[in-house]
Structure 1
Amino acid sequence: MSVPDAPYLRYVALGDSQTEGVGDGDDITGLRGFADRLAEHLARHEPALQYANLAVRGRLAAQIHAEQLAPALALRPDLATVLAGVNDLLRPRFDADEVAGHLEAMFAALTGQGVHVATITVPDLARISPLARPLIPRVTALNQRIREAAGRHGVTVADTALHPVAGDPRLWSTDRLHASSLGHERIAAALAYALRVPGSDDTWSLPLPPAPVATGRHVATTELRWLAGFLGPWLVRRLKGRSSGDGRTAKRPLLLPVRTENASPA
């Protein structure tokens, strides 16, 4: 699907914690995230833009499909971002075809209503956390299916997985599951560039300056803190059948105007 000449007026974001904005702000002061940042970028060129964010942390692809697609269609957007599948990647019984089926169903329904849809691919998780190395085949399989489904439905893909910077740990928060503020900024910039939003460019794909070399002791301490502070609690929730999104609803379920004052470029 080609990018329309007219600016976008109604943007709806579907997804999980990444789209909700976890890692960019907090639950007390508020979350921003790539979808908010993309909306701000769009609104600088079309002040009449309205934006809704239906994402809820912890949601699997099937849940995003079941819970967010119908409300998104009811809002009649002209632009939607759809991100799903990372939570599925972390489950023992991951099925790339099943996840892709939910993604494709959402792509088909939205584009069938005339919506321009954009998505991204998943970066190399092993660069973010060495313990994620066994997930590489899953990431590869999911990314291939995302590209194929997107191609069948004219969905724009910001193929962040092709750029090494997407796996730079500095673009990720300390839990290694969510982008940091800088990471969310880069994701927004990648989507803006893929959508050919005026003022966007490919600088999002450039590497960060070299990082100081960490000592072996520092690496070991960091790993232990991550295991205790993040992996352990995550495993406990899985064993109890709980999700970080239990009891939560979309942070922005209605289309509302976007404030751009003091907002940094995407």
Structure 2
Amino acid sequence: MGGRFVAVGDSFTEGVGDNNVMYPNGVRGWADRVARQMGRHDPTWEYANLAIRSKVLDEVVAEQLDAAIALRPTLITFYAGGNDILSLRVDMQSVMERYEAALGRLSSSGARVVVFTTFDMKVSSMLEPLRRRIRIFNNGVRELSRTYDAQLLDHTLLREYDDRRLWSADRIHMSKVGHKRLAGHVLDALGIPHTLKLPELPAWEPRTWRQAVAEERVFVRTEVIPLVRRRMRGVREGDALAPKWPEAIRPAAGLKKIARHRAAELHSPA
């Protein structure tokens, strides 16, 4: 039997890294893929996605929670806090207290709530402070999922994501393959049959230590330093974007088809 699935969060849930110009905001992502499979399994499923990249936890709560609950969902996925972890300065205890308050509100809505840990990727020792924040966040999410009877998808235990091909160049967002695989894990956790084809990736050629060091230097120069500079300037792509699917739609009709119709209506003469 279908229901109404509402996705709440930031770039993780919006779908950044899974680029596709046929979808709103130019990205597809695991949540859209899950919704499409739900529609194929049962055409009565409805779907809304309020997630927007760049949003910190407080913004997700202020801008999305009331709207999500007002949609009267039967299923909510909630991921927020990743951008707080990446902040230059952050009090992780405060983050987890505010995360708990948000999770409590979502759980009291009566919907089934799914939460996620952040993948704890093996990174350069230069980024060890970031990993400490990730471990605090993940341990907190695990404990709170039990407290509030939320379903946990423990992303960091899916060690297939150690494969760099499941990540985009910035190593923060999943690639198309990564989003597709996560969609499969979410559907399996929900007990919803799906037709996603998840072929095994060919063996990855091991790197020499010199190659690894050289790639880390390039990564820090081309991704980490520009990210820090953008954060210091307050430049955020998400500030100019709207939610992909702010109102409940029927994914059985086809998300690309719905997106085309919506775009045509927006650009049609009054």
Classify the TM-score, shorter chain. Answer: 0.7 to 0.9
2:28 paired with 1:10: no
Aligned counterpart in structure 1 of residue 230 of structure 2, from 237, 250, 256:
237
Aligned counterpart in structure 1 of residue 112 of structure 2, from 81, 92, 116:
116
- 8 Å contact from structure 1 (residues 9, 48) kept in 2: yes
Tell me how many residue pairs correspond in the alignment: 254
2:250, 2:73 → 1: CA distance? 13
Give the direction of change, closer, same or farther, for the CA distance of 1:238–1:11 in structure 2 (3 Å limit). same
Aligned counterpart in structure 1 of residue 206 of structure 2, from 208, 213, 229:
213
Aligned counterpart in structure 2 of residue 165 of structure 1, from 142, 160, 164:
160
In the TM superposition, residue 225 of structure 1 has moved relative to its aligned partner by 4.0
Partner of 1:80: 76
Kindly provide the CA deviation profile for residues 47-85 of structure 1, in whole angstroms up to 9, marking residues without a partner as x.
121111101101111111111101101111111100111
2:65 paired with 1:57: no
Structure whose residues are more often helix by fraction: 2
**Unpaired segments ≥5 residues, structure 2:** 257-270
In the TM superposition, residue 102 of structure 1 has moved relative to its aligned partner by 2.8
Aligned counterpart in structure 2 of residue 253 of structure 1, from 243, 246, 255:
246
- 8 Å contact from structure 1 (residues 21, 33) kept in 2: yes
Q: Pairwise CA RMSD of aligned residues?
A: 2.7
2:100, 2:2 → 1: CA distance? 23
Aligned counterpart in structure 2 of residue 150 of structure 1, from 145, 148, 157:
145
Structure with greater Cα Rg: 2
Relative to structure 2, which stretch is displaced further, 182-191 or 66-75? Answer: 182-191
Residue aligned with 1:124, SS: coil
Kindly provide the CA deviation profile for residues 245-265 of structure 1, in whole angstroms up to 9, marking residues without a partner as x.
1222212111111147699xx
Aligned counterpart in structure 2 of residue 93 of structure 1, from 89, 102, 108:
89
Partner of 1:36: 32
Counterpart residue type for residue 245 of structure 1: G
Kindly provide the CA deviation profile for residues 118-166 of structure 1, in whole angstroms up to 9, marking residues without a partner as x.
0111112335x66433322211111111011111111111112123223
In the TM superposition, residue 192 of structure 1 has moved relative to its aligned partner by 1.6
1:141, 1:220 → 2: CA distance? 28
- 8 Å contact from structure 1 (residues 160, 190) kept in 2: no
Give the direction of change, closer, same or farther, for the CA distance of 1:28–1:257 in structure 2 (3 Å limit). closer
- Alignment TM-score, normalising by the size of structure 1: 0.85
- 8 Å contact from structure 1 (residues 34, 185) kept in 2: yes
1:102, 1:43 → 2: CA distance? 33
- 8 Å contact from structure 1 (residues 171, 181) kept in 2: yes
